[in-house]
Structure 1
């Protein structure tokens, strides 16, 4: 038995090693990593165009920042264009349908409805054509550069790339940076109130606040800030100069924020009613954003609930 003991130990070690290797997928063939569809770095992209039918949206870098060149300038988010570029340069062929296809009429690619054009530094240009949706599954037929393989583009990639101007726009009518807020004042028609942070060195949630002469806990104050931050638009903006009557607004909202020099800065918003919308303009901005009047009314009425 003693002679067999080393052999038994060796067998147990081998079994244990095999079990561990199997649990770590050492014996499974790893799937082939598909190469990127385009060999371009995100930071080198200078311009891109989304053509969807007759609608054309173009964004381009200007002085290091993204701007909308077509159909018209808009206030943009800081992340929308970068996210689009990351999605484009990260594309892979999910599945090749026909290699080096010559007849693409059955894929909706003879005159594709959607064309995505990306232009990068050094004169690099890539055009992705998107045709019909595949009969079975969540994907679309596509090809690069108007030639070569027809492949499947996943519906997720399609949704992240086929955008309209509103998708890139900053929809916040009022910018609320919670922990920087020192005070919020609202005057809407006959209602008027002021929310003030009484412990400026604490976070919005941890601080105590006052609403007029009433003291509020942080979680109660967040209800006011949430409603101000929820003043969002779902339509394209107008130039502030086009909004009539802003000199006599129904809405006046002021946000006092902590400044970098330990002081305070005040941002003023005014709003004018048109139908069931309130067009809100931030002082110094060229843009007016429309929000539902019901949302403004909810913000104003929140003080009555406290």
Structure 2
């Protein structure tokens, strides 16, 4: 019997090892990642076009910068345009439906519901056309230009390409670096206050600041600066030339320094229109519709104070709360 023990232990170890390997899929052949339908170098892309039911968007690259030619110009966030190309490069077919389709109408591809086209600097282009949805939810028929193959494409892959003009727009009208700020003044509907850094050799959150005649600590000063830095919009920007700024209700003046410690003064103006304030940096091309509530918060001289804890319902103000069961009450301090 003693001779059988080592053999039994070896059998148990082998069974355990086999079970562990099976649970980790060691015996399954790894599935190769799906190949991309198209692979383009983003630096060689001259333009791309999005055609959907709502209209057409076209972005062009000029002198290394993206511009929107359709439906109308907007200030663009370059990261969004580059991200769109990355999404285009990541497209891969789920399954071939018809390797040599003769009738595209049966797949809804004679009149595609969506088309995404990338044109390169050499004039060549690649277009993905998307047709009718497949019976299996979450997929649609699609075809690549220059190929007769109809394939199945996941809607989760095509959705990031169906962007709107506002998705490409730069939504933040203010760019600033906290540590470079020396002072900020805000004038809103006749009321004005200013905050000034007292120790310019320190970082913004380390230095004391002077709010009119009151001293505030760096973290509180950063909150005032953040109100300006994080202004944003969800509406299309307008050309600043179309906004009358002759009598603005808002004026923000920021004094900062550049890398050479040269002082720079930047002025922002705002004009009220219903529930928004058309906000712009003086001397620039675009104005942004910022919610009036955000501007009111920016103009508020006081920081929000933490709310005092309210006693439970039915407990009169000033009444001592009883401690939890088992903990003796402390006598009042004399």
The bucket for the TM-score relative to the shorter chain is: 0.7 to 0.9
The Cα offsets for residues 210-239 of structure 1, whole Å up to 9 and x where unpaired, read as: 322222233322322332233212221222
Instruction: Say if 1:278 and 1:108 are closer, same or farther in 2 by CA, change over 3 A.
Output: same
Instruction: Give the Cα separation in 1 of the matches to 2:151 and 2:95.
Output: 5
Report whether the alignment pairs 1:171 with 2:171. yes
* 1:215-294 to 2 correspondences below 5 Å: 215-244=215-244, 246-294=245-293
Contact kept, 8 Å, 2:172 with 2:233, in 1: the verdict is: yes
Contact kept in structure 2, 1:52 and 1:114, CA below 8 Å? yes
Structure 2 vs 1, CA of residues 201 and 19 (structure 1 numbering), >3 Å: closer, same or farther? farther
Inter-CA distance 256–27: structure 2 relative to 1 (3 Å threshold): farther
CA–CA separation in structure 2 for the residues paired with 1:131 and 1:206: 58
Q: CA deviation at 1:20?
A: 8.0
CA RMSD in angstroms comes to: 2.9
- Within 1, Cα distance between the matches of 2:141 and 2:204? 50
Name which of structure 1's ranges 19-28 and 228-237 shifts more when overlaid on structure 2. Answer: 19-28
CA contact (8 A) 1:51 1:116 kept: yes
Whole-Å separation in 2 of the counterparts to 1:199 and 1:138: 59
2:31 maps to what in 1? 31
- 1:49-105: CA deviation from partner (whole Å, max 9, x where unpaired): 111136121111111111112222221113111111111122111333443333333
Offset at 1:272? 1.1
User: Secondary structure of 1:159's match?
Assistant: helix
What residue ranges of structure 2 are gaps of 5+ in the alignment? 306-334
**TM-score when normalising by structure 1:** 0.85
Inter-partner Cα distance in structure 1 for 2:11 and 2:249: 85
1:93 and 1:9, CA in 2 relative to 1: closer, same or farther beyond 3 A? same
Match of 2:309 in 1: none
Contact 1:42 1:89 in 2 (8 A): no
Structure 1 distance, partners of 2:264, 2:248, is 22
Cα distance between partner residues in 2 of 1:82 and 1:68: 13
Contact 2:45 2:119 in 1 (8 A): yes
Does residue 130 of structure 1 match 2:130?
yes
Name 1:62's counterpart in structure 2.
62
Partner of 2:48: 48
Secondary structure of the corresponding residue to residue 123 of structure 1: coil
**Which structure's CA Rg is the greater one?**
2
| 1:202 shift after superposition | 4.2
Q: In the alignment, what sits opposite 2:315? A: none
Deviation at 1:281, TM superposition (A): 1.6
Alignment partner of 1:241: what SS? helix
How many angstroms apart in 1 are the aligned matches of 2:140 and 2:216? 54
Question: Is 2:142–2:151's contact at 8 Å kept on the other side of the alignment?
Answer: yes
**Greater Cα offset, 172-181 or 251-260:** 172-181
- The residue that corresponds to 1:162 in the other structure is 162
Match of 2:100 in 1: 100
Which structure ranks higher in relative contact order (CA pairs < 8 Å, sequence separation ≥ 6)?
1
Distance change >3 Å, CA 162–CA 183, structure 1 → 2:
same
* Distance (Å, rounded) in 1 between the aligned partners of 2:202 and 2:135: 57
| SS of residue matched to 2:137 | coil
Cα gap change, 1:101 to 1:206, in 2 (>3 Å)? farther
Q: Distance in 2 between matches of 1:130 and 1:224?
A: 48
The CA distance in 2 between the partners of 1:140 and 1:180, in whole Å, is 51
